[in-house]
Structure formats: C-alpha cells, structure tokens
C-alpha cells in the first residue's frame, strides 16, 4: 500500500515548514501472552523524550518510566533492535519482518508521513528485579514524521490476533491523524497481507468502522503522561488490553494490543 502524496525522508525534514514545527517519533510494541511492552522515542522540534511501559499480564503489575534528557540512552532503537536500560527494567528485543504500509497525508498547510508494520514476530528478553522473561510474540513498529498541524488530537489502536481458522490478523486504526477517506494509514493485515479499511470512529472502548464492523477493547493497564512547556502541551493516555470483534470480514478468535489517546498543542 502507498499513500497518494510524495514520500518523506524523515532525516531531511527542516525544523519548520509553513510555520509548523517538525515532529518525529518511533514506537515499538510487543503483545504476548505473558507480557506486553512498548517503548518510544519522540522529538517535537528541539525537545526530545523517551518512555517505556511494561505489563506483567499474570499479576497485572505495570512498570513505566519517561526520560526527558536529550542524550538519554534509556531507549535505543537501531533498525530491528530495541534495547531498554531503564530504572527497574532491562529489555533486548529483535523485530522480525512483515509487509509495511507507508503514507503521506496533508496536515493543515504541510504534510505528515508514517510507516507502519503490524504483526511482525518479536523475540528477546525482558527483565525486572526478581523476574526474567524469554518473550516471543508479535507487535507493531510505528515510524512517523512531519510538520503536523499546531493542534492535533488523535485516537489510535494497533494489535494482533488470530481468526477462527488460525490465520494471523493485525490492525492499525486511527481517527484524527493521517485519516483521509482513502490513502490513509488505516490497515488490516490478514495472513500478512495489508488492505485499507473504511474510516474508523473511536468511542470509549469501542472502535466502529464504516460498513458495520467493530472492535471492543477490554483494558488491562493504563499509563498517562501530561506535559506543559507553555508553547508545547500534551495529554497522553496509553492502555494495553484485549480485543474482540471483526475486521476485514474476519471474526477475531483472540486479540491483544494497545489503545492510545493523544491531544497535543505543538
């Protein structure tokens, strides 16, 4: 799948375009039976931030940390490798391959680019004091960059699961960013092949797609983080959990993933 506007090289973006500040981020999430884990690195103009969240699904315990130092090595993302060395957590993960979708969409006077891979295998180790997991699951790799509009608000979900016949299913659904009626970042992977679904609408724990299909989310953990730098402000809510419903004509037999809400003035 490809967007309908020119591709973007994230490394070449200027700090401003048409008065809109550059934003860049990468988010990786692992969804497995024992644990769910995410880590991200983000830049909003000159400001940098990284964070991670770990959920032990057996006990329901959650660990998280946010680093605001520009040179922080707490979260390192290098191609298919994710390394976390933070307070109370060490993780080393290797991302496998799956077919990506890549789009560039208008954002007010400028453009926003994203490349999403959902459903790839992820393996490695995750360790907290007194506990170590050898993990194997599937997940999401979200790379995004652009000069997003000054006020941006979105709802996003990515997840993995299986159909009743055993075929792997994965999804990337969004409302409020990169979401034109066609040429959007919305995607459903069935047996590894992505296709673009119709627009989606988020309401509480429900995601409804135009055309009648829907997903219901049951939360297992929640992480919130609010920033206020006067000219740049952000309200962020991140939840891990399970999903039930149907996508792309397929009824989910199981589903795990993330629900995210982000309201930003940037």
CB-based burial label for 11 (10 Å; 0-12, 13-18, 19+): exposed
9 is a domain residue = no
Looking at the chain, the whole-number percentage of residues with pLDDT higher than 90 is 91
pLDDT tens readout for residues 64-114: 999 987 778 999 999 999 999 999 999 999 999 999 999 999 999 999 999
Q: What CATH number is given to the structural domain containing 55?
A: 2.40.370.10
Query: Does residue 13 contact residue 146 with C-beta atoms inside 8 Å?
Result: yes
In a domain, 185, yes or no: yes
Give the mean model confidence (pLDDT) for residues 30-40.
Answer: 98
For residue 180, the Cα-to-chain-centroid distance in whole angstroms is 19
Let me know if residue 127 belongs to a domain.
yes
* DSSP-derived secondary structure for 12-57: G--SEETTEE-EEEEEEEEE-SSEEEEEEEEEETTEEEEEEEEEET
Q: Classify residue 6: in a domain, yes or no.
A: no
Which pLDDT band holds residue 6 (cuts at 50, 70, 90)?
low
Please give the tally of structural domains in the chain. Answer: 1
Residue 182 lies in a domain: yes
Residue 4: pLDDT band with limits 50, 70, 90: very low
Residue among 88, 84, 65 nearest 75 (CA): 84
**Per the domain annotation, does 16 fall within a domain?**
no
Choose the weakest-confidence range: 22-36, 65-79, 146-160, 167-181. 65-79
Residue 1: its pLDDT value, please? Answer: 38
pLDDT at 98: 97
Domain, as residue range, for 105 = 22-265
Domain membership flag for residue 194: yes
The answer to whether residue 212 sits within a structural domain is yes
- Whole-model pTM: value is 0.95
Q: Tell me the C-alpha distance between 40 and 85, whole Å.
A: 13
Cα 145 to Cα 13: distance, rounded to the nearest angstrom: 8
pLDDT at residue 44 above 60? yes
pLDDT in tens, 134-158: 999 999 999 999 999 999 999 999 9
pLDDT in tens, 197-236: 999 999 999 999 999 999 999 999 999 999 898 889 999 9
pLDDT attached to residue 7: 61
Instruction: Give the pairing type, strands 214-228 and 233-247.
Output: antiparallel
């Amino acid at each position: 799948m490809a967007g309908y506007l020119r591709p973007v090289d994230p490394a070449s973006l200027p700090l401003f375009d048409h008065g809109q500040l550059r934003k860049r981020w990468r988010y990786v999430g692992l969804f497995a039976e024992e644990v769910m884990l995410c880590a991200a690195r983000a830049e909003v103009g000159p400001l940098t931030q990284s964070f991670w969240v770990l959920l032990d699904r057996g006990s329901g315990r959650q660990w998280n940390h946010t680093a605001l130092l520009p040179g922080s090595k707490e979260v390192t993302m290098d191609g298919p490798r994710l390394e976390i060395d933070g307070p109370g957590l060490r993780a080393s993960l290797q991302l496998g391959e799956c077919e990506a979708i890549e789009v560039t969409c208008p954002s007010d006077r400028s453009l926003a680019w994203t490349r999403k891979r959902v459903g790839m295998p992820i393996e490695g180790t995750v360790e907290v004091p007194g506990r170590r997991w050898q993990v194997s699951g599937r997940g999401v790799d979200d790379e995004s960059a652009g000069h997003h509009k000054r006020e941006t608000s979105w709802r996003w979900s990515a997840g993995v699961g299986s159909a009743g016949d055993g075929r792997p299913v994965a999804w990337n659904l969004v409302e409020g960013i990169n979401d034109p009626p066609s040429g959007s970042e919305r995607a459903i992977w069935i047996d590894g092949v992505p296709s673009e679904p119709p627009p989606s609408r988020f309401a509480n724990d429900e995601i409804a797609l135009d055309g009648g299909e829907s997903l219901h989310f049951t939360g297992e953990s929640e992480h919130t983080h609010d920033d206020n730098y006067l000219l740049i402000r952000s309200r962020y809510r991140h939840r891990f959990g399970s999903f039930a419903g149907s996508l792309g004509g397929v009824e989910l037999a199981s589903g795990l993933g993330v629900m995210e809400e982000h309201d930003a003035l940037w």
